[in-house]
């Protein structure tokens, strides 16, 4: 009797839960459907603008974003109802949960703690001089002045959520080095998991050292320079690696891939090429060593391709806010020009790497590629010639994928932070090369990692030198301006800047051997006078002379009022032209 009552109570609770889910779903659908109407979207935009004390001029952009969110919300609600209210949906959820649980049970997490500690120490030492430099890097200046979490402009919602967890305040402030320490931890986990996946659960010190390019490649050093955004950029890498822990469980792999790729899209989309690159190289290993049948490899690649396309398309149509008036564009090459466009972008990508890297790095990279080719052919279970051809093709495809989706764009970004996928590719090849191979390969790989590790110290010190040099130059400029025009409240006075503060001598010296340093260290006091660094120094030195946009002051033939070793100031009492000297 008691057993029967228990069954009835359980059934009643289940029914009540389902009714509750149905009611909430109906309410959610009603809200999403209401947002489909433009009048409702206008009210929402106006309300949010009032709450944030901001005026949204680009109503069309935000209206389109809300429309996408509403359609995405309808999709998610219907999918959630399928998973919770139908027998087939509940069965699917149960299978996925079981596969994830089975996979996690196969991992000895305690064995990962020591490797994570080792890599945390290595990465922390690697960015020690960057932390010590205490340099407000590019966008850090804007975030430190305004405190706004403006990542929503780039559809990076996960960053916004995590930023409130890390710093639960209305406006952000500079809390470094906490974000960079978190980035170190995330990178350490990423390196260990990458070694775990490629080493089939076997983690060695040499393999860990081989993974150093993942976090300390010259390109990712720019990401680690950002005080506010560093951990989220590192998280985008981790999100692309985690799904491959479940690679032997198809449903779990598909589910985790979609979720992880959406997290990547909502943190830092530059990492988009890492996931397909990992899938291609892993499939090559399966084929080359005959670890799986052709059918199983195609199934794996098909699952990875579906997850990748689904996640990116869902993000594109339901989550992404369209970019308007930014320094880059999401416009893709038309299909008729796609192949020529990709080839052009990849040639520029390769030429930049060739320009940026020093001769020692290039020699090390070439040797790693040769070792990878030789090892793949010698250990191949396929025909030697076929293995050679496929190995070279895999390198080419992986190199293209390392640039992510930028290879498809008409006007891609070529800043160092946009190229960090090359460091991930290099880390994977290095791990493969040192796995069960001759000592000469291990020595080469460790030497290359050591070069990147040492360069990180040079870069951090270079940031500090440039900061001191720039502040010295700006201090002299501000002193001269205050002596010439002590009354800041003087009406009608405007200034314009020409040229920039060039690099400190130490950076010029480093650039002789490692040209990438000139692309990593920013020049300061841009010629537009509207750069964040100029606004920061205006606040720092309490100088608020407005910048003039109405005309080019260099055409006015203004009289010279001061000429010094560092700059020339021309003025007629109202227009002030500052010519910075090299």
Q: What is the DSSP string of 106-163?
A: TS-THHHHHHHHHHHHHHHHHTHHHHHHT---THHHHHHHH---GGGGGT-HHHHHHH
Decide: 503 and 440 in contact? Cβ < 8 Å.
no
Question: How far are the Cα atoms of 42, 45, 60, 324, 470 from residue 57, in angstroms, in the given order?
Answer: 12, 10, 9, 12, 36
Decide: 140 and 223 in contact? Cβ < 8 Å.
no
Domain chopping of the chain, boundaries:
2-85, 111-437, 460-580
Q: Is 538 helix (H, G, I), strand (E, B) or coil?
A: helix
User: C-alpha 252: how far from its chain's center?
Assistant: 25
Q: What is the mean pLDDT of residues 312-332?
A: 78
Q: What is the mean pLDDT of residues 259-263?
A: 96
Q: What is the mean pLDDT of residues 380-402?
A: 95
Decide: 436 and 199 in contact? Cβ < 8 Å.
no
Residues 6+ apart with CB under 8 A from 242: 193, 256, 260
For residue 35, what pLDDT is reported? Answer: 85
Q: What is the mean pLDDT of residues 210-217?
A: 97
Decide: 129 and 219 in contact? Cβ < 8 Å.
no
For residue 488, what pLDDT is reported? Answer: 61
Q: Is the pLDDT of residue 328 over 70?
A: no
Q: What is the pLDDT of the chain when averaged over all its residues?
A: 88
For residue 249, what pLDDT is reported? Answer: 92
Reading the block at residue 388, the tokens are 């050679």
pLDDT digits (tens, 9 = 90+) for 100-157: 999 999 898 999 999 999 999 999 999 999 999 999 898 888 888 888 887 877 889 8
Reading the block at residue 558, the tokens are 């203004």
131 vs 180: CA distance, rounded Å:
8
Q: What is the mean pLDDT of residues 322-348?
A: 83
Nearest CA to 315 out of 271, 280, 249 is that of: 271
For residue 532, what pLDDT is reported? Answer: 63
Q: How confident is the model at residue 530 (pLDDT cuts 50, 70, 90)?
A: very low
- Report DSSP state, residue 169: S
Q: What is the mean pLDDT of residues 24-45?
A: 85
555 vs 31: CA distance, rounded Å:
58
For residue 323, what pLDDT is reported? Answer: 67
Residues 6+ apart with CB under 8 A from 121: none
291 vs 288: CA distance, rounded Å:
8
Residues written for the chain: 582
Which is more confident, 103 or 48? 103
Q: What is the share, in percent, of the chain residues with pLDDT greater than 70?
A: 89
- List the alpha helices (DSSP H) in 176-228: 178-198, 205-210, 213-216, 218-225
- DSSP strand E in 413-564: where? 494-498, 560-563
For residue 414, what pLDDT is reported? Answer: 94
Number of other CB atoms surrounding residue 577 within 10 Å: 23
- List the alpha helices (DSSP H) in 357-436: 359-378, 384-402, 421-434
Q: Is the pLDDT of residue 413 over 80?
A: yes
Reading the block at residue 370, the tokens are 């040769």
- Report DSSP state, residue 244: G
- List the alpha helices (DSSP H) in 37-86: 38-51, 59-85
pLDDT digits (tens, 9 = 90+) for 557-576: 899 999 999 999 999 888 88
Q: What is the dihedral of CA 411, 417, 418, 422, to 10 degrees?
A: 140
25 vs 28: CA distance, rounded Å:
5
Relative orientation angle of helices 218-225 and 178-198, to the nearest 10 degrees: 140
Reading the block at residue 363, the tokens are 């020699």
For residue 257, what pLDDT is reported? Answer: 97
For residue 529, what pLDDT is reported? Answer: 45
Element (H, E) at 284: helix 274-288
For residue 324, what pLDDT is reported? Answer: 59
Long-range contacts of 377-386 (CB under 8 A, 24+ apart): 379/288, 379/289, 380/288, 380/289, 381/288, 381/289, 381/290, 382/287, 382/288, 382/290
196 vs 431: CA distance, rounded Å:
10
579 vs 581: CA distance, rounded Å:
6
Reading the block at residue 415, the tokens are 């800043």
Strands 575-580 and 567-571: antiparallel
Q: Is the pLDDT of residue 49 over 70?
A: no
Q: How confident is the model at residue 528 (pLDDT cuts 50, 70, 90)?
A: very low
315 vs 65: CA distance, rounded Å:
11
Number of H helices and number of E strands within the chain?
24, 4
Q: Is the pLDDT of residue 325 over 60?
A: no
Q: Is the pLDDT of residue 4 over 70?
A: no
Tokens 């399928």 sit on residue:
82
146 vs 139: CA distance, rounded Å:
11
pLDDT digits (tens, 9 = 90+) for 449-499: 999 999 999 999 999 999 999 889 988 988 898 888 887 656 678 888 888
Q: What is the mean pLDDT of residues 158-186?
A: 93
Q: What is the share, in percent, of the chain residues with pLDDT greater than 90?
A: 60
163 vs 169: CA distance, rounded Å:
9
Q: What angle do CA 210, 214, 218 make, to 5 degrees?
A: 110
42 vs 67: CA distance, rounded Å:
11
Strand partners, 386: none
Q: Is the pLDDT of residue 399 over 60?
A: yes
187 vs 544: CA distance, rounded Å:
41
Least confident residue range of 234-248, 311-325, 356-370, 508-522: 311-325
- DSSP strand E in 488-557: where? 494-498
Q: What is the mean pLDDT of residues 194-222?
A: 95
Using CA of residue 527, residue 529, residue 533, residue 537, what is the dihedral sign? positive
């Amino acid at each position: 009797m008691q057993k029967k009552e228990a069954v009835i109570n359980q059934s009643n609770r289940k029914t009540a839960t389902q009714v509750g889910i149905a009611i909430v779903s109906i309410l959610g659908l009603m809200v999403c459907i209401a947002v489909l109407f433009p009048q409702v979207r206008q009210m929402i935009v106006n309300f949010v603008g009032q709450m944030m004390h901001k005026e949204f001029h680009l109503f069309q952009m935000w209206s389109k974003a809300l429309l996408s969110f509403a359609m995405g919300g309808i999709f998610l609600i219907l999918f959630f109802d399928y998973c919770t209210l139908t027998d087939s949906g509940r069965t699917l959820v149960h299978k996925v949960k079981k596969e994830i649980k089975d996979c996690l049970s196969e991992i000895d997490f305690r064995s990962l703690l020591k490797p994570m500690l080792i890599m945390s120490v290595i990465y922390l030492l690697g960015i020690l001089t960057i932390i010590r430099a205490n340099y407000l890097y590019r966008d850090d200046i804007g975030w430190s002045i305004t405190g706004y979490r403006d990542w929503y402009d780039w559809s990076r919602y996960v960053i916004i959520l995590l930023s409130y967890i890390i710093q639960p305040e209305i406006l952000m402030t500079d809390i470094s080095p906490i974000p960079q320490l978190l980035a170190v931890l995330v990178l350490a986990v990423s390196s260990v998991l990458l070694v775990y996946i490629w080493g089939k659960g076997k983690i060695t010190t040499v393999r860990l050292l081989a993974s150093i390019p993942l976090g300390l490649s010259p390109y990712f050093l720019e990401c680690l320079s950002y005080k506010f955004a560093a951990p989220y950029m590192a998280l985008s890498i981790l999100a692309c690696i985690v799904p491959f822990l479940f690679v032997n469980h198809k449903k779990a792999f598909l589910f985790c891939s979609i979720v992880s790729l959406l997290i990547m899209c909502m943190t830092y989309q530059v990492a988009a090429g890492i996931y397909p690159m990992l899938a291609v190289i892993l499939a090559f290993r399966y084929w080359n060593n005959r670890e799986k049948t052709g059918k199983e490899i195609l199934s794996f690649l098909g699952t990875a391709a579906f997850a990748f396309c689904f996640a990116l398309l869902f993000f594109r149509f339901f989550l992404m806010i369209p970019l308007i008036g930014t320094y880059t564009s999401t416009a893709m090459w038309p299909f008729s020009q796609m192949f020529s466009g990709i080839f052009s972008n990849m040639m520029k990508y390769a030429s930049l790497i060739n320009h940026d890297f020093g001769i020692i790095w290039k020699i090390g990279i070439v040797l790693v590629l040769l070792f990878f080719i030789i090892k793949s052919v010698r250990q191949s279970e396929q025909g030697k010639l076929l293995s050679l051809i496929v190995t070279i093709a895999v390198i080419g495809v992986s190199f293209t994928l390392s640039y992510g989706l930028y290879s498809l764009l008409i006007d891609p970004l070529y800043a160092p932070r946009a190229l960090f996928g090359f460091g991930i590719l290099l880390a994977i090849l290095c791990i493969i090369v040192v796995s069960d191979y001759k000592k000469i390969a291990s020595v080469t790989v460790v030497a290359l990692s050591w070069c990147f590790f040492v360069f990180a110290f040079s870069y951090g010190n270079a940031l500090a030198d440039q900061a001191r040099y720039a502040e010295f130059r700006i201090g002299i400029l501000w002193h001269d301006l205050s002596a010439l025009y002590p009354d800041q409240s003087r009406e009608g006075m405007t200034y314009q800047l020409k040229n920039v503060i060039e690099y400190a001598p130490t950076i010029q010296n480093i650039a002789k051997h490692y040209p990438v340093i000139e692309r990593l260290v920013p020049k300061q006091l841009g010629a537009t006078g509207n750069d964040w660094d100029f606004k920061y120094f205006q606040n720092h030195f309490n100088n608020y002379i407005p910048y003039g946009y109405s005309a080019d002051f260099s055409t006015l033939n203004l009289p010279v009022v001061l000429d010094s070793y560092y700059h020339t100031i021309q003025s007629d009492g109202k227009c002030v032209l500052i010519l910075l000297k090299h």
